[in-house]
A and B are shown apart, each in its own frame.
Chain A
Amino acid sequence: MTSIEQNSSASPQESVLAIINSKAPFSSSHGKDALDVALIFAAFEQKVSLFFQGDGVYQLMDKQDGSLLGIKDYLKTFSAFEFYDIEDIYVCQPSLASRQLDEDFHIDDVQVLSSIEFGLALNRHQHVLRF
């Protein structure tokens, strides 16, 4: 692989990639596939932010245990975000409210945002992928 060039069109406050997680954690591999993308961007020192919306918010909820389903619990890897310098983690408040969920997450430093704030936060990114 050749060296990663900094894209000149990105302003300093703008992150390279936003990943929107929209699926619940266990029935599909979307959450894991999104996590793999996030970690590789971080490993290449590219700024990546994670957004959780719709059923994606279930990926953040505490007291889950994928091992009961025989699944390798990729949610445990979320605790490594700090190590990877993945600092911007946003969750959509209306998505929590409509699912009767409290702000009881299995990782720290999750920012709960209104729809408008969620959209504005997305706007601070150069590219968006959604899983």
Chain B
Amino acid sequence: MSTLHLIRQSAFASNDFAQCLSVLDHRDSVVLMDDGCYNLKHSLMDSLIKRVGSVNINIIASHAQARAIEIITAVNTIEISDVVELTFTHNKVITWQ
């Protein structure tokens, strides 16, 4: 079983990202989108990046660029069309918004 987690809120404003991380399982994937892109600079990100290999981390390139967020190498840059594909390569989707 694997889950695709869509992160749409800044962790500086809400606990959604923290709640997602607390249930995140190995083989799961995370997509940072909308204001979720700001989480790239949040301290919670450190623990997530340590799990790369077990967990797959992605960011919507246009959403990050629009916000002048510099993307780091541990994170895959994707587009929304890739999220459609990820929807079906995982068993379910949880949106944290």
Q: Do chains A and B touch in the complex (CB under 8 A)?
A: yes
Interface residues of A (CB under 8 A from B): 20, 22, 53-55, 92, 94, 115, 118-120, 122-123, 125-128, 130
Chain B residues with Cβ under 8 A from A22's Cβ?
16, 19
Partner of A128, one of B19, B24, B25, B93: B93
A94 with B22: CB separation less than 8 A: yes
Q: Give 1 or 0 for each of B12-42: 1 = CB within 8 Å of chain A CB.
A: 0001100100111100000000000000000
Cβ of B95 within 8 Å of any chain A Cβ, yes or no, is yes
Indicate which residue in B16, B24, B93, B96 contacts A119 across the interface (CB closer than 8 Å): B24
Q: Give residues in B with beta carbon < 8 Å to A.
A: 1, 3, 15-16, 19, 22-25, 91-97
A115 and B22 form a contact (CB under 8 A): yes
Given contacts A92-B22, A94-B22, A119-B24, contact A126 B94 (CB under 8 A): no
A residues near B22, Cβ cutoff 8 Å: 53, 92, 94, 115, 118-119
B25 touches A54 (CB 8 A): no
Given contacts A94-B22, A118-B22, contact A123 B95 (CB under 8 A): no
Contact call B94/A130, Cβ cutoff below 8 A: yes
Q: B16 to A126, Cβ gap below 8 A?
A: no
Closest to A125 in B: B92
Given A118-B22, A118-B23, A119-B24, check contact A54 B94 (CB 8 Å).
Answer: no
A114 nearest CB neighbor, chain B only: B22
Give the Cβ gap from B71 to chain A, nearest Cβ, in Å: 26
Q: Which residue of A lies closest to B16 (CB)?
A: A22
**CB-based contact A123/B19 at 8 Å:** no
Chain A residues near B24 (CB, 8 Å)?
119
Residues from chain A with a CB closer than 8 A to the CB of B97 are 130
Residues of A with C-beta under 8 A to B93: 128
Give the CA-CA distance A120 to B91 in the complex, in Å: 13
Residues from chain A with a CB closer than 8 A to the CB of B92 are: 125-128
Q: A54-B15, A54-B19 are in contact. List 14 more A-B contacts (CB 8 A).
A: A53-B19, A92-B22, A94-B22, A115-B23, A118-B23, A119-B22, A119-B23, A119-B25, A122-B23, A126-B91, A127-B92, A128-B93, A128-B94, A130-B95
